[in-house]
Structure 1
């Protein structure tokens, strides 16, 4: 595997005003849907937000989300609660899903930032209301997406691998 995308992915919080096409958003969501899930339950749903009023509402869920006021789009990763065979695994499944989404976005020249909502009930309640979610859905994470304002957003990060973190049992 070419690890260059892994080394380039960064949390981006400042974006150009340029619109992100629905084709590109569909590509990153397609990639997210290829992620593994326990018992193939695929607990994910997605809400794509470009509406400025909703973005403003989402910007107020925590002190860390204020920059959402100025992003071209947010992809909300939403958990469906109905009939999950292994509901305790859904947060792991959704984390994998978010990772696939962000890596695909990076490969397309788009910046993202993972904003965790779950398990903070206060944030979940505010997001669920802002997104007008049905009762069987709950917000897991918000992923702002767009073209980074700075070209330097995609620089290769320092190699974080440390062989001392591995123990071999042979």
Structure 2
């Protein structure tokens, strides 16, 4: 799958088969995530691969929009490491770019995934801190449940020329 096809056909997948995701597949996704640009090349991210069924089952207790997680064979928690920042506050952009790369790599390799946002919702951040014993300098940005897709979604054309301004706002 070429890059444009991956970008234009990627969809949020919330239903997965029971087929396992291999360590090699996970490494491919993490390599893609870590290839993302970051402010000052600080790479102020860290990734937690979650396969523990009890933890996956507990995620909906701290995130109301992550109800698909108990059915996923695994999830990747994408966090900012504020101790690694070169430019304070840019960890959010760094991690967001990493999440998008991860989602595109999942789709391009035949997996399905969905971005479930955590930060800046304080209750979600605290819930994930407790559930995964995160230290203070690690801030959870997003959880990406993933697996082999059990559903197929048609391509959506989201191009909207009304969202484009040229040179000046007016």
Q: Partner of 1:96 in structure 2?
A: 97
Measured after TM superposition, the shift of residue 157 of structure 1 is 2.1
Q: Partner of 2:20 in structure 1?
A: 19
Q: Partner of 1:121 in structure 2?
A: 122
Measured after TM superposition, the shift of residue 48 of structure 1 is 0.5
Superposition RMSD on alpha carbons, in Å? Answer: 1.7
Measured after TM superposition, the shift of residue 162 of structure 1 is 2.4
What's the TM-score, normalizing by structure 2?
0.91
Query: What are the ranges of 5 or more consecutive residues in structure 1 without an aligned counterpart?
Result: none
State the alpha-carbon separation in 1 of the partners of residues 121 and 158 from structure 2.
32
Measured after TM superposition, the shift of residue 67 of structure 1 is 1.8
Q: Which moved more, 1:60-69 or 1:108-117?
A: 60-69
Which 4+ residue blocks in structure 1 deviate beyond 6 angstroms?
none
State the alpha-carbon separation in 2 of the partners of residues 83 and 21 from structure 1.
29
What's the TM-score, normalizing by structure 1?
0.91
State the alpha-carbon separation in 2 of the partners of residues 83 and 109 from structure 1.
33
Aligned residues: 167
Cα distance, 1:2–1:71 mapped onto 2, change above 3 Å: closer
Measured after TM superposition, the shift of residue 3 of structure 1 is 1.1
Measured after TM superposition, the shift of residue 2 of structure 1 is 4.3
